[in-house]
Amino acid sequence: MNSVRKEVLAPDPAALRTVLGHFATGVAIITALDDDEPVGMACNSFTSVSLDPQLVLFCAAKSSTTWPRIQAARKWAANILAEDAEQTCRLFAEKGADRFAHIAYSAGRSGAPVLEAAIAFVDCETLAEHDAGDHVIVVGRVLELGYAPEGKPLLFYRGGYGRFEV
């Protein structure tokens, strides 16, 4: 096995962002209904927690204006985006955008929007929230889930979007 020379950095926010940018992640859109209005935000910190019981988590920035609306709903869907859905991700990452004006979706079991641009979804209800610095770790109990048999995920790596190749 070849050794790769590594740059060693003192821990600070910029260094942490640079280093963790080397870890490719999928891209999910977390959606919910705030009363009857669909809301959503882009998220690259979504992962499985437990198979028994079925639990997943995502992390929400405390500075997010959308997070309090999802938090109040207590039911949400994690929509895992397909490789051709970069514009959808950018729309949901944009502040103040009318995110659902031109986005096709249907309701999951919880009522949360399940996006047509997703290759998979996990519909959840909030089980727990944990304080984590400038974020909140949100643990959800899975109510319903589904996937498209074809398609590849949109990835985020080193500050940019990418595609998965086999």
Decide if 22 contacts 158 (C-beta within 8 A): yes
Within 8 A by CB and 6+ apart from 92, the residues are 29, 40, 41, 42, 99
The per-residue pLDDT for 1 is 63
7-11: average pLDDT: 82
Residue 132: CATH number of its domain: 2.30.110.10
In a domain, 97, yes or no: yes
Domain housing 130: 26-153
Is the pLDDT confidence value at 135 over 70?
yes
Helical (H) or strand (E) element with 150? none
The per-residue pLDDT for 109 is 94
Write out the two tokens for 9: 């950095």
The per-residue pLDDT for 113 is 97
In a domain, 31, yes or no: yes
Decide if 19 contacts 12 (C-beta within 8 A): no
In a domain, 77, yes or no: yes
Q: What share of the chain in percent tops pLDDT 90?
A: 70
**CB neighbours (10 Å) of residue 92?**
27
In a domain, 16, yes or no: no
Is the pLDDT confidence value at 9 over 70?
yes
Number of domains composing the chain: 1
In a domain, 158, yes or no: no
In a domain, 5, yes or no: no
Q: Give the predicted TM-score (pTM) of the model.
A: 0.91
Decide if 109 contacts 123 (C-beta within 8 A): yes
Is the pLDDT confidence value at 64 over 70?
yes
**What integer best gives the mean pLDDT of the chain?**
92
In a domain, 58, yes or no: yes
Is the pLDDT confidence value at 112 over 70?
yes
pLDDT band per the 50, 70, 90 thresholds, residue 10: confident
In a domain, 55, yes or no: yes
- CA–CA distance, 128 with 49 (Å, rounded to integer): 12
The per-residue pLDDT for 114 is 97
Write out the two tokens for 138: 């949100």
Weakest mean pLDDT among 103-107, 135-139, 158-162: 158-162
pLDDT band per the 50, 70, 90 thresholds, residue 166: low
